[in-house]
């Protein structure tokens, strides 16, 4: 089948092939159905799209540049490398594309309070920003371990008026923060909008977050045609939950000539239990509202993931990625902590751009691939965030 008959996915039950669905307590179901219907109406509402575009242009600074990294290209001696500069967005990552979209939606739904989970703090900061701008009360759940390693973002969220709730359960990272956010949501479902940050969770979140993030891919498509007169040969993006990857991949899914590569965190190695390579090592299961690949033991207990990059440190992945893996449309590789660190330093010194450790995983794959490719080959890497937040952990 043409892969984007995929553009018809998810189906009406929220499935991408075998993956997706809604695995949540009954208490949340009416609210999810309402959200689905509300979003379906907004999608074709011109005034909503205009309002969102206004903020994306004048507040976020879109379109983000597609920068030809000539020095990195020269130093690797192979493919021509372009960086999609989501790090230049207001708040410093791609997360703001989604939080403004969902924030404006929540406003129209009449919600007054928004909550979110965060790992690296990028989604938390972007949510707190949307909350300040759109006048919501805002609470962010963040694992204690992540609070320790992403202190700058905690401070930013507090400055923006959000309350940051530390989570002490489990491995005290993103998975545990998400558990706690869901518990808050199920308790305060009438007043509260859950602003999920990745392409995971129950339907319609994976679809909605993908749609809001696909601005990245739509711009990239136009920009690369302007720069090169053709589509790229490769698009590379890091995958934790998978929102920046889904956003840049989605508008290219039907372009069979464009190789799409997602890069997961191999942490300290796939043979160790210290990694976050869900698509490479996981098995199908349910976590946080959807059926997708999951890192788990034989008993179905979810494992704690690990990555030097807090934003990739998650044992689940968005269901559409599981589908794209199975269909063969996207290849998912991995990069170790050390590879990511090396890429982090290399881009900083060669191009004067400090990438987020998450995005550095995608760069590591580019550094590995590019030298072997011809000088005519074109690669785009999604530079999903900037690395200021990581200066204390490298």
Partner 1 sequence: MSRIRERFKVLTGRGEKALVAYITGGYPSLEVAGQMVLGLAECGADIIEIGVPFSDPIADGPVIQTASYQALQGGVTVAGILEMVQRVRQQSSIPLVLMSYYNPILQMGLQEFCYQAARSGVDGLIVPELPREESLPLLQAAEQAAIDVVPLVAPTSNRERIAAICARARGFVYCVSVTGITGEREEINTDLASLTDTIRKCTDLPLVIGFGVGNANTARNLAPLCDGVVVGSALMRLIIGDSFDRAGELVREIKSAINRQ
- Min CB(180)–partner 1 separation in Å: 9
Closest-CA residue to 64 (of 245, 249, 217): 217
Report how far Cα 166 is from the mean position of its chain's Cα atoms. Answer: 22
Tokens coding 261: 């590569």
Per CB under 8 A, the segment of 154-162, 238-246, 298-306, 349-357 that binds partner 1 is 298-306
Q: Decide: is 129 part of the binding site for partner 1 (CB under 8 A).
A: no
Q: Decide: is 189 part of the binding site for partner 1 (CB under 8 A).
A: yes
Q: Decide: is 179 part of the binding site for partner 1 (CB under 8 A).
A: yes
Among 2, 44, 271, 301, binds partner 1 (CB under 8 A): 301
- Min CB(212)–partner 1 separation in Å: 24
Complex with partner 1: residue 14 or 247, whichever CB lies closer: 14
Catalytic annotation present for 117: yes
Catalytic annotation present for 326: no
Q: Decide: is 230 part of the binding site for partner 1 (CB under 8 A).
A: no
Among 49, 165, 286, 348, binds partner 1 (CB under 8 A): 286
Per CB under 8 A, the segment of 15-23, 95-103, 208-216, 377-385 that binds partner 1 is 15-23
Complex with partner 1: residue 23 or 59, whichever CB lies closer: 23
Q: Decide: is 13 part of the binding site for partner 1 (CB under 8 A).
A: yes
Q: Decide: is 187 part of the binding site for partner 1 (CB under 8 A).
A: yes
Q: Decide: is 84 part of the binding site for partner 1 (CB under 8 A).
A: no
List the Cα angle 54/58/63 in 5-degree steps.
Answer: 90
| Tokens 């406003």, located at residue | 107
Q: Decide: is 38 part of the binding site for partner 1 (CB under 8 A).
A: no
Among 294, 357, 360, 383, binds partner 1 (CB under 8 A): 294
Catalytic annotation present for 95: yes
Among 6, 9, 16, 22, binds partner 1 (CB under 8 A): 22
Give Cα separations from 349 to 252, 353, 371, 386 (angstroms).
31, 8, 18, 14
Tokens coding 36: 């689905």
Q: Decide: is 30 part of the binding site for partner 1 (CB under 8 A).
A: yes
Q: Decide: is 110 part of the binding site for partner 1 (CB under 8 A).
A: no
In whole angstroms, what is the distance from residue 313 CA to residue 309 CA? Answer: 6
- Min CB(250)–partner 1 separation in Å: 25
Q: Decide: is 272 part of the binding site for partner 1 (CB under 8 A).
A: no
Q: Decide: is 112 part of the binding site for partner 1 (CB under 8 A).
A: no
Q: Decide: is 256 part of the binding site for partner 1 (CB under 8 A).
A: no
Contacts of 3 (CB under 8 A, 6+ apart): 253, 254, 256, 327, 329
Complex with partner 1: residue 12 or 226, whichever CB lies closer: 12
Q: How many residues bind partner 1 (CB under 8 A)?
A: 38
Catalytic residue among 64, 93, 214, 384: 384
Catalytic residue among 64, 84, 86, 95: 95
Per CB under 8 A, the segment of 137-145, 227-235, 285-293, 373-381 that binds partner 1 is 285-293
| Tokens 């005290």, located at residue | 172
- Min CB(37)–partner 1 separation in Å: 13
- For the annotated catalytic residues, the residue numbers are 95, 117, 384
Interface residues toward partner 1, by CB under 8 A: 13, 21-31, 169-170, 175, 179, 182-183, 186-190, 283-289, 294, 296, 298-303
């Amino acid at each position: 089948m043409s892969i984007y008959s995929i553009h018809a996915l998810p189906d009406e039950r929220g499935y991408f092939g075998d993956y997706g669905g809604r695995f949540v307590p009954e208490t949340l179901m009416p609210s999810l159905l309402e959200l689905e219907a509300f979003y379906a109406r907004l999608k074709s509402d011109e005034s909503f799209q205009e309002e969102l575009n206004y903020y994306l242009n004048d507040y976020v600074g879109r379109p983000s540049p597609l920068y030809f990294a000539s020095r990195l290209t020269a130093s690797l001696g192979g493919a021509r490398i372009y960086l999609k500069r989501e790090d230049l967005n207001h708040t410093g990552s791609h997360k703001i594309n989604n939080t403004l979209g969902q924030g404006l939606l929540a406003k129209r739904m009449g919600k007054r309070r928004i909550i979110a989970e965060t790992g690296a703090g990028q989604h938390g900061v972007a949510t707190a920003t949307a909350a300040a701008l759109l006048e919501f009360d805002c609470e962010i759940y963040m694992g204690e371990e992540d609070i320790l390693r992403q202190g700058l973002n905690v401070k930013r969220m507090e400055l923006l008026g959000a309350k940051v709730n530390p989570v002490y359960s489990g491995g005290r990272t993103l998975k545990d923060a998400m558990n706690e956010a869901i518990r808050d949501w199920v308790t305060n479902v009438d007043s509260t909008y859950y602003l999920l940050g990745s392409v995971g969770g129950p339907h319609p979140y994976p679809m909605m977050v993908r749609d809001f993030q696909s601005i990245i891919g739509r711009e990239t498509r136009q920009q690369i045609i302007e720069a090169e007169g053709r589509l790229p040969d490769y698009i590379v993006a890091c995958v934790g939950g998978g929102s920046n990857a889904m956003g840049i991949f989605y508008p290219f899914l039907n372009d069979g000539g464009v190789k799409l590569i997602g890069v997961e965190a191999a942490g300290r190695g796939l043979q160790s239990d210290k990694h976050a390579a869900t698509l490479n090592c996981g098995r199908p299961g349910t976590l946080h509202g959807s059926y997708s690949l999951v890192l788990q033991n034989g008993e179905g207990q979810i494992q704690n993931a690990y990555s030097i990059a807090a934003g990739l440190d998650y044992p689940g992945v968005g269901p559409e990625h599981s589908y794209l893996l199975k269909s063969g449309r996207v290849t998912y590789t991995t990069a170790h902590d050390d590879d990511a660190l090396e890429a982090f330093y290399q881009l900083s010194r060669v191009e004067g751009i400090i990438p987020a450790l998450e995005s550095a995983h995608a760069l590591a794959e580019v550094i590995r691939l590019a030298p072997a490719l011809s000088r005519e080959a074109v690669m785009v890497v999604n530079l999903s965030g900037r690395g200021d937040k990581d200066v204390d952990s490298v």
